[in-house]
Structure 1
Amino acid sequence: MKKYNNGLIVGRFQPFHLEHLRLAVAAAGRVKHLWVGITRPFGKCIPEIGGARAVDGANPLPYWLRYQCVECALINDAGFSPTSFSILPVPLVKEIIKQIVPRGTVFLTTIMEQWGVEKEELFRKSGLETIRMDLGAKTISGTMIRDKIAGRDQSWKDFVPKHMRERYASVIETYVLNSGDIILN
C-alpha cells in the first residue's frame, strides 16, 4: 500500500466520536502527516455546501472546542505524536480548500451516504487526489449523539473517545443543551 506524504480527512466533529477516531487512525496509516480539517469552522459566516449539515442546530459546538476535542482524542486515545498531525479549519468551499492544504495532499474519505460522494467530488474539483477507505457500516452519527445529549441520555458518552469524554463532556453538554458561551477551567 502506497504511503503518501500528506493526507486530509474532514468532518464537522459535532462532536468528535469513535468512528471519527477510527477514520483518523486508518488515514494516518496511509500518510506521513495527517491533516484533520474541521468543516463549518466559522458558522454561517462562510456559506458552505452540506444541506441539513449546514444549519445552526446541527452545529452547536464552536471551532475551538472541536479543535481541542480532536487534539485530545488523537494524542491521548489514539497515541498520535503531536507532530504527526495538524488540525485546521476547512470551509467546504472549493476556492478556499485550494488555499488551505499543501499541494499534493490526498483526501481520504469513507462513503457512508450520498453526502460522502458530494464531499469527495468537491475535494476532487479542488485539485486533491481522493482515496476511498472502507471502514464498514456507519453505526455512530453526531446527530444521534446530540439527540442523546438533548434527551439527557448519558449513554452518549459511550460513543466518544475516553480521554476526550473525561475532559470535555460537560462542556459539550452545555453547548448542545444551551448553545451558550462558557469558560473552560
Structure 2
Amino acid sequence: MDELENNEVARVDEAIVCGRFQPFHNEHLHYLLAALCRSKFLWIGITKPWRKTVGNSSSHREQDSANPYSFIVRVRMVRQALLECGVDPTKFQIIPFDFESVLDFDQYNPTCKLVFVTITDNWSQSKIEQLEALGKKVCSLYENRDPEITATKIRKSISDGTDLWRTSLPPSVESIIDEELANART
C-alpha cells in the first residue's frame, strides 16, 4: 500500500473509493472530497450493497442494525451531499462495490486499479488486504484512528432519539434520514 504525503497532490485519471456509508456523514464527505482532488473521475463504491449477507458473521458490520439504509438510499445520500458541495456530477459515478464477495467481482466493477482508502480502525487493514488480493493498488489518503464522527455513533444517536447525529451529517443527508424516519413511522 502506498501513502500520499499531505502536500503531495497526485492527480490520476480515475480512482475508486469505497465505504458502507451507513449513513453517509461528514468524515465520509471529507474522504470523498480528498479523493476527488486527486482524480479526474471517481468511482464511488458502496460496499455491502445488499443489506442481507450470506453466512454467519459476528462482525458488527454484518448486523442488520449496522446496515439500516438500502443501497438506493445510500446512493441518494452520497450523490446529494456531493452535489450540495458543488461537485460536478460528471466527475463521479456511484456503484455497488461488494469486494468481500469475489464471485463475479470483475463482471460488475470498474477495471480501474487504484483504490483510495483512509485508515480509521483495525478493519482498514483487512480491507486493504482484500482489495490488494483482488489486484487493486491501494493508496492511503490519510490516517485518522480517532475520528470524532463515526456511523456507529450516529446510528446510536438516531436510535436513542437524540439530535446529536444532526451535526455530523451534510444537510442533504439529514433531510434524507428525516424522510426515512418519517416513512418508518407510517
Q: Aligned match of 2:87 in 73, 77, 80?
A: 80
Q: CA deviation at 1:49?
A: 8.2
Q: Which structure has more helix as a fraction of its residues?
A: 1
CA contact (8 A) 1:34 1:86 kept: yes
* Residues 48 and 105 of structure 1: CA distance in aligned 2, closer, same or farther (over 3 Å): farther
Gaps of 5+ in 1: none
Structure 2 equivalent of residue 70 of structure 1 = 78
Query: Does the 8 Å CA contact 1:109/1:132 hold for their aligned counterparts?
Result: yes
CA offsets per residue over residues 107-145 of structure 1, 9 Å max, x none?
100111110011111111111110011153422111100
Tell me by how many angstroms 1:45 deviates.
4.9
User: Of 100, 113, 119, which residue of structure 2 is paired with 1:105?
Assistant: 113
The answer as to whether partners of 2:154 and 2:168 remain within 8 angstroms in 1 is: yes
Displacement, 1:163?
2.4
Amino acid aligned to 1:148: S
- 2:153 aligned residue (138, 144, 147): 144
Distance 2:54 2:92 in 1: 25
What is the CA distance between 1:46 and its match in structure 2? 5.0
Query: 2: distance between equivalents of 1:125 and 1:42?
Result: 22
For residue 44 of structure 2, what is the aligned residue in structure 1?
36
Verify: 1:132 aligned to 2:140, yes or no. Answer: yes
* Identity value in percent: 29
Matched AA of 1:81: D
- 1:169 and 1:52, CA in 2 relative to 1: closer, same or farther beyond 3 A? closer
Q: Does 1:89 align with 2:96?
A: yes
2:68 alignment partner in structure 1: 60
User: CA contact under 8 A between 2:16 and 2:42: conserved in structure 1?
Assistant: yes
* In structure 2, distance between residues paired with 1:152 and 1:144: 12
The CA RMSD over aligned residues, in Å, is: 2.2
AA at the equivalent of 1:87: I
How many residue pairs align between the two structures?
A: 176
Contact 1:107-1:129 at 8 Å conserved across structures:
yes
User: Counterpart of 1:155?
Assistant: 164
Distance in 1 between the 2:44 and 2:168 partners? 20
| 2:5 equivalent in structure 1 | none
Q: Secondary structure at the match of 1:148?
A: helix
In 2 relative to 1, CA 48–100 (structure 1 residues): closer, same or farther, beyond 3 Å? farther
2:12 aligns with 4
1:121 aligns with 2:129: yes
One-letter code aligned to 2:75: Y
With normalisation by structure 2, the TM-score equals: 0.85
Contact 1:27 1:34 in 2 (8 A): yes
Contact 2:53/2:62 (CA < 8 Å) preserved in 1?
A: no
Q: Do the aligned partners of residues 104 and 69 (structure 1) sit closer, same or farther apart at CA in structure 2, a change above 3 Å counting? A: closer
Q: 1:52 to 1:75 in 2, by over 3 A?
A: same
